Structure 1
């Protein structure tokens, strides 16, 4: 960027990512300012705001840089994109304006044009190579950089291994293996962008059939998704800083001052609960209870967090990790929600998740109704039953059919032997997936009931060992009685 002026351009629409956006009264025109003998770069921005192409040409011919930035890092192209003047945008681009210039808040001309719904400008910028970009969380002063900030140069990806498609990978940090979650457009394939485009068109009720469904349009829709995803990333980061519990994955730090942004957590090499269940199949109740207690204790900590309860909203086997001792830890807070001083939460818009992640979602979320911490209790019930049954809930149904079944108050069948659900275990599962959230128990109540069932099973197991002198395999049952 060119050298910055210590002046700020105050007129018209402000940056789409600025904390406070405002529009100055039209009566406060550029002519009142230009007469003051201000810097020629700032004069260029005033003329851009007014669409004065002749005046802009004179300034550029006299040596004024088209890449001039004000104190906020905004360029004339930012101003033109906000105002929606395609002729001015075209003029600036043909005279060497930087198409992806980023202001102090991380907003580009394309981001501003999208925010203010200036469709012609969006198309023009994309034709000149503008791409959606994920803005780092820049701070003004070095002392404002958070304590958890990790220098990306300390992360060694030379022997990196992907944990999940595109998002999580293992890296080396200060001699220790860590899990790294990245955020950036380069993580998404063109197929992902097509999916996002169609999903967002449904969300915002756009009739794509009436448009030319070209890649620029999908790219624009994808940029909207990136903004949503960026907020989720920041929310997840804010949450991870607040939590510390043996049954919750440990947050180590983050990269927020450069792109791609990253969240770094402890690495658990034994993988997730999904992989464990695929390997083991149906678990005996004694093992299922041990794992269920780990999940319940982690979730109880989140729900009892003060002063704000934390709703996970994405509790499923893939988001529950195993440590070296075989204990479970709740992970991946990308969809989590802080429940502050209200009893319920309601989404501002449709709940963003891919169709292949609906198998563990509570019906009130699927119906876009108000919900509370009990959505996690519903998910927990499905996971607990899966550990006993040895297969995911409604394993023969497609994801969308599973969602419809939950909304219709259908629940996965109990097909394993009733002996495996003895001592109140089946009743607990049924209570946890009750249709009415208020009738579902809290995790504190769940822990008490699980511990009592576990006590009975351990007592019977000791009695059996003493009476028969046999112990058996406590982890796996291939053919349930």
Structure 2
């Protein structure tokens, strides 16, 4: 558990207000937690526990469904395994997961060109649509996988849904006139399970129209607090603007009468904090793929003139989704900005977020931009390699003070892939102008990922799953060709 100072990550914000008012792949699915939560908050999982045991190998466990294997092999560009599986079960090629996504969606989203070719050769529907009506080509375009785009277009692929379009050109719905307002009678909180707690409410797992979802509720006692309601509506207004495979999916909200509720997809896999707490340092291949998922999610938030700065990026806010995919969540502290220049600066609330992952300029109440998320990302990367947060012998506030006032940075004690230490050091630069943009970070991570994959002997690649499972997770995806 983090020290009490991590719980102070939101303390200044709350004090200001007081002054004014007073596993296995198939088991991994969806979750959301409350805003302004101390880093000592209990972890989230499907049954409310922190257990994340997952010792499953595709070669040994009959519980792993064929579709799960198909998605895994597609995301890892494993052509040989794909051909073998589809020869045995050709009907799998167009089966869909929870989100209505086919294996071709997965291959397209992660740039797995050879996997996409095998799937198309075996009858994959090139214009299959997921639950957001997005086609594989739209997913490939959203991630700028040019070779996969050419292949899909050559096979009759079309852009469908929003993944391949400019989402900022569509006027977002407003609180008073929306198509996502949910009838509160559809949310039965009496038959729910508490999975998290925030400063202004709690998070519960409920069934909504037959589907498990996560519901953030505002405490009834705070329903008349204008600032609390304003923050809640801000988060709703922000979430309706975002939709990305690496962002926790907003489903709807109750905004017209108490209790106010925000409904998102439910991720029973928990969060990255739980993984690091239980498993310690992760394998390099796993880290790189996890880092790519996080970077892609934040790149989406940072892209375009209406930039979303997360401001509280940390392992607790990185959740485990379908096929072991990471998703960035909790936008209670995020800010939506109108950007005109690349490094436009804004005077925003200082000491916003969690101290241990906080950029120096935020700690010192200086103007800052979206590069604060790059700094936090570097700390997460470091923690995944080292197995513990930086300066773990200090309380979180003192760690942040040393970073900001004395320009202290933690020491590297583990083995890192070539180029990774340099990337981390650039990302946590004190001068925010020196930090790379996330689009550059993705490019460098993909290069590191290619080098890691090339270093693995072909005979060992079929055993990767079992080795990854020993750490509770597999490192899937991240193909760039």
TM-score normalised by length of structure 2: 0.57
Q: After TM superposition, give the deviation of residue 465 of structure 1 in Å.
A: 3.1
SS in 2 for 1:259: coil
Kindly provide the CA deviation profile for residues 274-296 of structure 1, in whole angstroms up to 9, marking residues without a partner as x: 11222221101000111010000
Match of 1:309 in 2: 307
* Alpha-carbon distance between aligned partners in 2 of 1:465 and 1:348, rounded to the nearest angstrom: 50
Partner of residue 340, structure 1 = 338
Look up the match of 1:147. 179
For residues 460 and 391 of structure 1, the distance between their equivalents in structure 2, rounded to whole angstroms, comes to 27
**Equivalent in the alignment of 1:450:** 445
Deviation by residue 1:372-398 (Cα, 9 ceiling, x = unmatched) = 111000000010111111112221210
Contact 2:347/2:368, CA 8 A, preserved across alignment? no
Change beyond 3 A, Cα 1:337–1:348:
closer
Match for 2:326 among 325, 328, 344? 328
Query: Where does residue 183 of structure 1 map in the other structure?
Result: 218
1:421 equivalent among 395, 398, 416: 416
Measure the CA separation in 1 of the matches of 2:459 and 2:419: 20
Q: How much has 1:349 moved relative to structure 2?
A: 5.0
Alignment partners' CA distance in 2, 1:328 and 1:470:
19
Shift of 1:347: 3.8
Q: For the structure 1 residues 350 and 457, does the alpha-carbon distance in structure 2 shift closer, same or farther, using more than 3 Å as the test?
A: closer
Aligned residues: 297
Matched-pair contact (CA < 8 Å) for 2:350–2:364? no
* Alpha-carbon distance in 1 for matches of 2:350, 2:451: 44
2:391 aligns with one of 394, 407, 419: 394
After superposition, the Cα gap between the structure-2 partners of 1:244 and 1:410, relative to the gap in structure 1 and judged at 3 Å, is same
1:232/1:334 contact within 8 Å kept: yes
The correspondence of residues 153-192 of structure 1 with structure 2, limited to 5 A, is 153-165=185-197, 166-184=201-219, 186=221
Alignment partner, residue 152 of structure 2: none
Per the alignment, residue 293 of structure 2 pairs with 294
Distance 1:350 1:432, change over 3 A: closer
Q: Structure 2: give runs of 5+ residues left out of the alignment.
A: 1-18, 23-174, 473-481
Shift of 1:186: 3.6
Q: 1:364 to 1:475 in 2, by over 3 A?
A: farther
CA contact (8 A) 1:284 1:475 kept: no
Report whether the alignment pairs 1:241 with 2:240.
yes
1:459 paired residue number? 454
Query: Secondary structure at the residue paired with 1:339?
Result: strand
1:345-370 Cα distance to aligned partner (Å, 9 max, x none): 434555455xxx31111111111111
User: Does the 8 A contact of 1:346 with 1:369 survive in 2?
Assistant: no
Aligned mates of 1:341, 1:471 — CA distance in 2: 43
2:348 maps to 1:379: no
Q: Which residue of 1 aligns with 2:359?
A: 362
Aligned pair 1:284/2:283, yes or no?
A: yes
Report if aligned partners of 1:314, 1:336 keep a CA contact under 8 Å in 2: yes
> CA separation in 1, counterparts of 2:308 and 2:464?
44
Name the CA distance, whole Å, in 1 between partners of 2:222 and 2:413. Answer: 41
Contact in 2 for aligned 1:287/1:475 (Cα 8 Å): no
Classify 1:424/1:262 alpha carbon distance in 2 versus 1 (closer, same or farther; 3 Å).
Answer: same
Residues 7-35 of structure 1 show CA distances to partners (whole Å, capped at 9, x for unaligned) of xxxxxxxxxxxxxxxxxxxxxxxxxxxxx
Quick check: 1:274–1:318 contact (8 Å CA) kept in 2?
yes
Unaligned regions of 5+ residues in structure 1, if any? Answer: 1-113, 123-142, 189-222
Q: 1:229 to 1:344 in 2, by over 3 A?
A: farther
- Return closer, same or farther for 1:470/1:267 CA change in 2, 3 Å cut-off: closer
Alignment check: 8 A CA contact 2:267 2:320 kept: yes
Give me the whole-angstrom Cα distance separating, in 2, the residues matched to 1:382 and 1:351. Answer: 17
The verdict on how the C-alpha distance between 1:181 and 1:345 changes in structure 2, with shifts beyond 3 A counting, is: farther
Q: Which residue of 2 aligns with 1:231?
A: 230
TM-score with structure 1 setting the length: 0.57
The aligned counterpart of 1:110 is none
Question: 1:241 Cα deviation (Å)?
Answer: 0.6
Whether contact under 8 Å (2:222, 2:228) holds in the other structure is no
- In structure 1, what is the Cα distance between the partners aligned to 2:306 and 2:283? 36
Verify the 8 A CA contact 1:465 1:471 in the aligned structure 2.
no
**In the TM superposition, what is the alpha-carbon distance from 1:462 to its structure 2 partner?**
2.7
Root-mean-square deviation (CA, aligned residues, Å) is: 2.9
Query: In the alignment, which residue of structure 2 is the partner of 1:256?
Result: 255
Aligned to 2:432: 437
Partner of 2:148: none
Shift of residue 232, structure 1, vs aligned partner: 2.4
Change beyond 3 A, Cα 1:147–1:371: same
**Structure with greater Cα Rg:** 1
Per-residue deviation, residues 229-283 of structure 1 (Å, max 9, x unmatched): 3332222111111111100011100000011211111001111111122222110
Other structure's SS at 2:323 match:
coil
C-alpha separation in 1, matches of 2:469 and 2:412:
20
